[in-house]
């Protein structure tokens, strides 16, 4: 996938889940934060300063379980049908709600 992007891309890695819906919690199946923890280790990430963008509630739940404080729900992809569920999600970290990545809150990057 990285080779399909331009050589000037800023993506360091792509992680994908290959496990089915019946996989146990120790796999990369979200809302398990396992994939996030592996990425943090591989890329030397500070999860407290990292940003998770997802179009499903389980994406945000995985980020919350990894103690990430910057969770963003985007309406594209599955996001439109998941938005009401995300809005009613009771978690101490409320996600930022955006329609698309053009609305990304750039101030989080500084």
Write out pLDDT tens, residues 37-96: 999 999 999 999 999 999 999 999 999 999 999 999 999 999 999 999 999 998 888 999
**Domain CATH number, residue 53:** 3.40.50.1000
pLDDT value at residue 107: 87
Distances (CA, A) of 57 to 17, 70, 86: 16, 14, 6
Total domain count, the chain? 1
What's the predicted TM-score (pTM) here? Answer: 0.86
Phi and psi at residue 15, to the nearest 5°: -115, 135
Question: Of 4, 102, 110, 2, which is closest to residue 53 (Cα–Cα)?
Answer: 102
pLDDT value at residue 37: 96
Domain that holds residue 83: 2-109
pLDDT value at residue 25: 73
**What is the average per-residue pLDDT within 12-26?**
82
When pLDDT is cut at 50, 70 and 90, the band that residue 35 belongs to is: very high
């Amino acid at each position: 996938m990285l080779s399909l992007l331009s050589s000037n891309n800023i993506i360091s890695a792509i992680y994908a889940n290959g496990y089915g819906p019946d996989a146990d919690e120790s796999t990369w199946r979200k809302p398990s934060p396992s994939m996030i923890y592996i990425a943090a280790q591989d890329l030397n990430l500070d999860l407290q300063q990292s940003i998770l963008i997802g179009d499903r509630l389980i994406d945000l739940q995985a980020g919350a379980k990894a103690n990430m404080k910057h969770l963003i729900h985007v309406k594209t992809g599955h996001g439109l049908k998941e938005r009401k569920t995300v809005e009613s999600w009771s978690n101490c970290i409320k996600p930022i709600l955006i329609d698309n990545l053009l609305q990304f809150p750039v101030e989080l990057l500084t």
